[in-house]
Amino acid sequence: MKKTTTKLADGRELIYYDTDPHVLRDAVDRRSLEPPTSLAEVRRDPATGDWVTVAAHRQGRTYHPPADQCPLCPSRPGRPSEIPAADYDVVVFENRFPSLAADAAARVPERTDPLRAGGPGVGRCEVVCFTADHDSSFAALTPAKARLVLDAWTDRTAELSAAPGVRQVYCFENRGAEIGVTLSHPHGQIYGFPFVTARTARMVEAAAGHRARTGGNLFEDLLAAERADPVRVVLAGEHWTAFVPFAARWPYEVHLYPNRRVPDLTALDEAERAEFPGLYLELLRRFDRLFTGAGDNGGAAPTPYIAAWHQAPALQGEELALHLELFTIRRTVGKLKFLAGTESGMDAFINDVSPEAAAQRLREVAS
């Protein structure tokens, strides 16, 4: 992997990741851009302890532009974009409309009242462009290109984990208009949070409780149990296992774990990195066949999904295990799973598909 770091016209960082070690990345962003200004702040809910980010400055962000004005495509004569180069493999750059930013500290005051605790939303938000092809998808990448994305995620995890104030690094992809994606170009995001997210905090608490009760690691024991009784296992390799969790919240939800527990992407070894692309690409392609049959996608709209990497946070994540959660909000053909009263109001999920049936369906649509 070759890494080339440069700056955009407004001072934001942009990084090219290339498979060709000889490629030259010297294109200059000649747009006239004002430096971005962040008013992000974080506030702690005194009733739950959860952190909420307030980023009112993001209301003006780019929203469903025409394909010929996509800001994530390579630049063309007369059509400059966020990527100055005429082509690229994988690109990461600072979000122009970030929810969290380093400069928030200069604009947002600290709040010390126990019932009004909060402060500046210091952190980092990055965009990851998986391919220069606007009409492609992650599932359409070659294994080599998928490996390059994995290497980019890993590099960013290492760098952001060491950044001042960052407590947790989160790599994810939102795919599909039904999910709320405002740019259709194949891309994901990376957040460097200044706090441990609520879901991760619950995992930390659950892992501590499991250790106290059994003396074992929660995630090692969970994976061992799924592999021993593989009714919910969807795909298994030498180094990774994908399964539908016993208490899946979403109609089709798959968790992908390395068989060896590691805290984050930086701790994966070469064998684990080499096997990941093939398994993950197969999972994504199965998701696109879920509602059409065992052949190709049959002209149906691609399955909307969220792919979320769970990594151990700084200081308190020694019990956690790296894993990826992949899920769709589509529950059947033409119907979505909406988060209504119980889910949105009480965080109490009701699943319309049994995890065992979901796993069986995901096995049926194998390549």
| pLDDT for 292 | 82
Averaged pLDDT of the chain = 94
Q: What residue ranges of the chain have pLDDT lower than 70? A: 293-301
Angle between helices 270-289 and 143-161 (to 10 degrees): 120
Which sequence spans correspond to the domains of the chain? 2-195, 199-364
State pTM to two decimals. 0.95
Q: CB–CB of 38/98 below 8 Å? A: yes
- Based on the residue annotation, tell me whether 187 is a catalytic residue of this protein: yes
Token digits for 187? 């891309």
Q: Is 199-364 in the same CATH topology as 2-195? A: yes
Topology of the domain covering 2-195: HIT family, subunit A (3.30.428)
Cα–Cα distance list, 365 to 48, 289, 295, 334, 357 (Å): 41, 6, 8, 18, 13
| pLDDT for 297 | 44
| pLDDT for 287 | 97
The catalytically annotated residue of 187, 239, 310, 323 is 187
How confident is the model over 14-30, as pLDDT tens digits?
A: 999 999 999 999 999 99
How confident is the model over 260-287, as pLDDT tens digits?
A: 999 999 999 999 999 999 999 999 999 9
| pLDDT for 300 | 55
| pLDDT for 159 | 97
At the second CATH level, the architecture of 199-364 is: 2-Layer Sandwich (3.30)
